[in-house]
Structure 1
Amino acid sequence: MSFLEFTVPPFPVFIAAGEGTFKKGETHVRRVFPVFDLLYVKKGVLYITEDENAFSVEAGEYILLSPGLEHYGTKGSEETTSYSWLHFEGTAYEVTETTGNNWAELRRKKGSFEEPARYRLSLPQKGKVRRPQFMAGQFSVLTDDSAENSDLPLRKQILFEELLLHLQKEAFQIPSAKERVAWEAARYLQEHYQEKTTIKALSSALHYNQDYVTRCMQQVLGVTPGQYTNKVRMTEAKRLLSATNDKMGAIADAIGMEDPTYFSKLFKQIEGITPLEYRKFVSRKTD
Structure 2
Amino acid sequence: METEENYLERASYTWSEDSIRLFATPSRTARGLFFYMQEAGYFKTVWPYFTERANLNSFLVVCTLSGEGRLQYEGREYALLEGSLFFIHCMKHHEYHTVKGKNWEFLWLHLNGMNALGYYEKFVKNGFRILDIREKELTEQTLRKIIAINQKRELTTEVRTSGLIGTLLTELIVQNTAESRQAILIPEFVRAAEKYLEQHFREKVPLQELADMLHVDRFYLIKEFGRYVGISPHEYQIELRISYAKELLKYSDLSVNEIAYACGMNQTSHFISLFREREHSTPARFRKEWRPGPAERGGREAEGRSCRRAGE
TM norm structure 2:
0.46
Higher relative contact order (CA 8 A, sep 6+): 1
TM norm structure 1:
0.49
